[in-house]
Structure 1
Amino acid sequence: MELPSERLNIYKASRTIKRKDNTLYNALRSIYEDSIFVGEISQIWPELPLVGNLRCGLWYSRKFHSTCYFKSTDGHTNNLSFNTSRLNLHVALLAAQRGGCMIVDSTRKGKRFPDSMSKTIPIWACVLNRAILNYRTRLNVQESTNSNKLDSIGQGTCDWDCSIHLPLWVSATEKAMIQNRLETWTKELEASGADIASIALSLRKPLRPLWISQKTVIWLNEVPHYDSWDFTPIILVSASSSTGRLQHHTTSEFSWNYIAGAGDDEESWARGLSPDVFWKHAYDIISSGPDSCNQMIANIVEKDRVCRAQRGEYAPQVSVKPSKCPGSANEFHLGSPTYLDNGTVADDGKLIDNNVISFLGSTNIAVGSIQLAMEVRTAYCILNCDKESFTISPENPEMYMHLPILDSKFDRISLLRNLPAALDFAKTQLRKGKTLLVCCSNGEDISICICLAILASFYDEAGNFDDGKSFSDETRITKLELRKRLVFICKYAVNARPSRGNLKQVFCCLNGGGYTHLVS
């Protein structure tokens, strides 16, 4: 009979083997090999912009024209949804301007495509197509005397494809579930206040996804030009191999194990390395081999941190602690946060920085990361929501407030607890006509939620500052109204990705009392 201690030892040995397989070098080498495939596909249609899906997709190319955020959870069988918090309208506009685009992502689960590509993006494309058709139909009715106006900017309403295009591996039952909810999702999009008009006026052909993986067979002498299709292609490139097991590779110098979707969940393996820094040193890292990789990454991350600190950028000290995974003596874990330096490619092909401060329309509110706030600390009044603090002009200490707010994963009411102070500070500065910069670690979550609360509290529906007159003790903001303001923010801060837990805290703050003194 097997003793419990023996069984536990087997489990421990299994976990140890798994940790050895999922080493830093294996992950980076797998990413490097998969990026070759992505590069080959991008050269088939070089005119189409390459878009990386946050966060996993960003590892698989040296350069991206832009980024997007399509979550696989929105395409899970029991969680099918069209999320107005992640509209990605900038992707539709980019595809309209360039005749299409390619989106890069990956998956660890041994499938050919992640659910973000199998269902989330097809649903998104279909709902947008339906909303555009509805907009054009209404415009035709209103301007029946000028019926040629729409045809002059593209297709009219007669041959606009609004059907859902799903890959063959999605079951008929699940397709029927999606079709039954398309009308509801379209109404939600139209009610959200999204700028459908801009897309409708620039998109000549309906959006339609195409799928390409490492198993896709492409005859290069028969590849059609994308402009010859009767739709605007959203080419979905799944970077990883769909094998369900580890592949062992051996070179003349060393061996390594392939990890499908290695770019996923970077906090658990990247050790402070970002995609941008990785690609600056990719050749040296890959050539270093498994034994030297960890120490090389530590040196690269620390050197990058020092360089950023010398430039006056936000560069917290990297903490080092021993790894639980047994192995060579130089194995360790870097406990620093990972920052994604997202990139955008200009028309001349040069990489330009997309990690910039986003001004929210004509309001006096801007949002960005803490490192960017430190670079412009003397130009704005700053509301810093990151755990790290910094100082601005000592002559004007009242123009800076530090509220170390934790994500809802670590403290489910941290944002709710600090929102009253944040709103009070914002009201004081906005009354003076100051430009308020709200920042957090990445400018994508907590700072977005703070801006959402400020817009809902002190601005009317048209985006004009009213000093809170439209918000009183009797006022209760609805989820639809809050969603409209979030859509407004995402129009300018395209990398915004507020978590559900933090959004719930904003809604609770604005509707749960404890706010009377802020509007007095």
Structure 2
Amino acid sequence: MPYAVPLTTDDRKVLRPIERNPWNRLHSIDEDARWVQQVVTEVLRPRLPVVANLRCGAWYVPSPPDGARRPFCYFKSTDGHAGEWSFSLKRPNLEMLHLIQAQGGAVIVDSTRRGKSMPDALSKTIPIWCAVMNEASTRRHGQPSKLADEAPLPWPCRSFNRGSTGLLTPAHQVPPSEHAQMEERFEGWIASLLASDLPILKLDRPLVPYFLTRREEDHSRSDRAELPSTGLPVILISASRRVEAPTPSDDGSYYYTQGSGDDEEAWSRGLTPDLFWQEREMLLRCRREELAGMIAEIVRGRTERCSKQRASDVQIKGTKITLGIRDERHAFNAEERGRYALLIHCNGSFEEEEPPSVVVNFKIPPGKAGLSALRSGLSQVVDTGRAPTNGDILIIDTTFSDALLAFAVALLASLYTSGRQRVADVAAHCLTLSKDDVRRRLQWVQHDLPGANPSRAAMQRVDEVVLRRPGGSVGTGSVQADGVQVDHT
């Protein structure tokens, strides 16, 4: 008897364990990934780089076989939710922009769970980003020209909402009324980007989004989709087919679960997209009862390998602040101690003999559990005068974590002017800072560390420490751009 049979209930207590079963998730991911690969290799022309929209999209895009760093982007669906449309200065995806320009376009892959065929990140967030980046380049550099209204729209992207701003959204996903409301915010988004410290890339052609889902009419044709050369195509692929509930596969071996790459904390047991692609054949060929043990073994092996690896350090341009990844037990070596005036480990467990004014070890747990410790650590460095008014600073953690990024932003804000000059009086300088200044320091980090995306909660702790005024109040000074509030989100 097959494992997966048609379900006759919509009881969430019955469906939830099926949806969260790693066996069903991994086999569903494999089915969707094979469809994406077929589209990329057999339908689209010319061939373009395939990029995962984190985090969900990474499950559907193979890791590079040589272990090279995979390209990625990070566009949030929440920035495209109805009534909450936003162009995020915190997630500018500059690396993605350079890749599209250099390669003549790109394919971006994502997915979504039950209820719709395309995530808001693809149907609205990325189209907003394309239109804003196009217009910002035009206003700053005089190009590109807007795509003509009569420009041909190739299969499979026949139906667009269009407007005067250059915003393009899929008509089968976005009602015309919602498209019009999005356009009303366009000038505010442009103003906030042009007023920021983010670099404005000069585009030679406009970014043009195209939308592809698993709908039958989208992929029934066998001929290739010829993309016009008048723009830089940004092909947005929603990997999963739409189902209302877990559905038995053709052979009954698993329940197909839409958007299986989403919400990985609920089902992956520590498995990551890279680990899945490295061990894909073994994971998919094992017996169902063996899968949990195999995942545990793979995750253990990954932890041991990671402890022996070290990523390259990143120095923030025009400053003396460097960010790096080290093991939890890392003992700062002689070269590091000789070069840096302050060494900060956000998650260190090695007992240092150096005076605390030189080496500062914190133990900041990830997530909400570490927010109190993060605020305390930021205060210790910024408020007590430990941060040197001269000399280099190294900040490390086991990843480019929220804590590491928060320390970087806090020190950049408290030690440097907007012109990247070191300040002499930290306390007096902090009295002049606003939330806008803190946001701009984050943009410095994002320029040199693409993908840096600290949580809102972590950035709030930075504000609480760096912007604290006598009497305990916090300075604000967030900027307004044509009536559109711009903050850390």
**So what's the TM-score if we normalise by structure 2?**
0.80
Distance 2:195 2:361 in 1: 36
Deviation digits for residues 172-225 of structure 1, max 9, x if unmatched?
2211111111001100011112101xx11xx2111121111222226453421x
Matched position secondary structure for 1:451 = helix
Distance 2:118 2:465 in 1: 39
Deviation digits for residues 272-295 of structure 1, max 9, x if unmatched?
112112111110110113211111
Following superposition of structure 1 onto structure 2, how do residues 126-141 of structure 1 map, counting pairs within 5 Å?
Answer: 126-137=131-142
- 1:232 alignment counterpart: 232
CA contact (8 A) 2:19 2:25 kept: no
Distance 1:132 1:408 in 2: 37
CA shift, 1:412, in A, is: 4.9
Residues 412 and 447 of structure 1: is their aligned pair in 2 closer, same or farther, counting only changes over 3 Å?
closer
Q: Determine which of 170, 174, 197 is the counterpart of 1:167.
A: 170
- 1:423 alignment counterpart: 382
Residues 53 and 389 of structure 1: is their aligned pair in 2 closer, same or farther, counting only changes over 3 Å?
farther
Tell me if 1:487 matches 2:447: no
Matched position secondary structure for 1:112 = coil
Following superposition of structure 1 onto structure 2, how do residues 322-333 of structure 1 map, counting pairs within 5 Å?
Answer: none
- 1:183 alignment counterpart: 187
Tell me if 1:389 matches 2:349: yes
Deviation digits for residues 51-103 of structure 1, max 9, x if unmatched?
11111111112236411111111111132111111111111111111111111
Tell me if 1:450 matches 2:407: yes
The structure where helix makes up a greater share of residues is 1
Give the aligned residue type for 1:498.
Answer: P
Following superposition of structure 1 onto structure 2, how do residues 92-241 of structure 1 map, counting pairs within 5 Å?
Answer: 92-137=97-142, 155=144, 162-168=165-171, 169-196=173-200, 199-200=201-202, 203-215=203-215, 216-217=218-219, 219-224=221-226, 226=227, 228-241=228-241
CA contact (8 A) 2:145 2:206 kept: no
Residues 291 and 425 of structure 1: is their aligned pair in 2 closer, same or farther, counting only changes over 3 Å?
farther
CA shift, 1:512, in A, is: 1.7
CA contact (8 A) 1:136 1:156 kept: no
CA shift, 1:136, in A, is: 2.4
Percent identity, aligned pairs only, is 29
- 2:313 alignment counterpart: 357
Residues 307 and 496 of structure 1: is their aligned pair in 2 closer, same or farther, counting only changes over 3 Å?
closer
Tell me if 1:501 matches 2:478: no
Distance 2:334 2:384 in 1: 17
- 2:485 alignment counterpart: none
- 2:394 alignment counterpart: 437
CA contact (8 A) 1:112 1:238 kept: yes
5+ long unaligned stretches in structure 2: 1-8, 65-69, 150-163, 473-489
Residues 261 and 357 of structure 1: is their aligned pair in 2 closer, same or farther, counting only changes over 3 Å?
farther
Residues 218 and 414 of structure 1: is their aligned pair in 2 closer, same or farther, counting only changes over 3 Å?
farther
Following superposition of structure 1 onto structure 2, how do residues 278-297 of structure 1 map, counting pairs within 5 Å?
Answer: 278-297=276-295
CA contact (8 A) 1:444 1:495 kept: no
Tell me if 1:81 matches 2:86: yes
Distance 2:49 2:329 in 1: 29
5+ long unaligned stretches in structure 1: 1-10, 138-149, 315-354
Tell me if 1:463 matches 2:463: no
Tell me if 1:259 matches 2:219: no
Residues 126 and 308 of structure 1: is their aligned pair in 2 closer, same or farther, counting only changes over 3 Å?
closer
Distance 2:176 2:147 in 1: 27
Deviation digits for residues 327-381 of structure 1, max 9, x if unmatched?
xxxxxxxxxxxxxxxxxxxxxxxxxxxx643321132222244449949866535
CA contact (8 A) 1:452 1:485 kept: yes
Deviation digits for residues 117-159 of structure 1, max 9, x if unmatched?
111111111111111111124xxxxxxxxxxxx7xxxx56897
Following superposition of structure 1 onto structure 2, how do residues 506-517 of structure 1 map, counting pairs within 5 Å?
Answer: 506-513=462-469
Matched position secondary structure for 2:210 = strand
Give the aligned residue type for 1:55.
Answer: R
- 2:359 alignment counterpart: 400
Matched position secondary structure for 1:476 = coil
Distance 2:289 2:317 in 1: 51
Deviation digits for residues 244-276 of structure 1, max 9, x if unmatched?
22111254xx72111111111222211111211
Residues 102 and 368 of structure 1: is their aligned pair in 2 closer, same or farther, counting only changes over 3 Å?
farther
Distance 2:424 2:367 in 1: 29
- 1:15 alignment counterpart: 13
Give the aligned residue type for 1:103.
Answer: I
Distance 2:376 2:469 in 1: 12
Distance 1:457 1:234 in 2: 39
CA contact (8 A) 2:381 2:387 kept: no
Count how many residue pairs are aligned between Structure 1 and Structure 2.
435
CA contact (8 A) 1:285 1:296 kept: yes
Q: CA RMSD in A?
A: 3.1
Give the aligned residue type for 1:211.
Answer: F
Residues 403 and 425 of structure 1: is their aligned pair in 2 closer, same or farther, counting only changes over 3 Å?
farther
- 1:243 alignment counterpart: 243
CA shift, 1:414, in A, is: 3.6
Give the aligned residue type for 1:446.
Answer: A
Distance 1:246 1:70 in 2: 27
CA shift, 1:31, in A, is: 1.2
CA contact (8 A) 2:328 2:349 kept: no
Give the aligned residue type for 2:300.
Answer: E
**So what's the TM-score if we normalise by structure 1?**
0.76
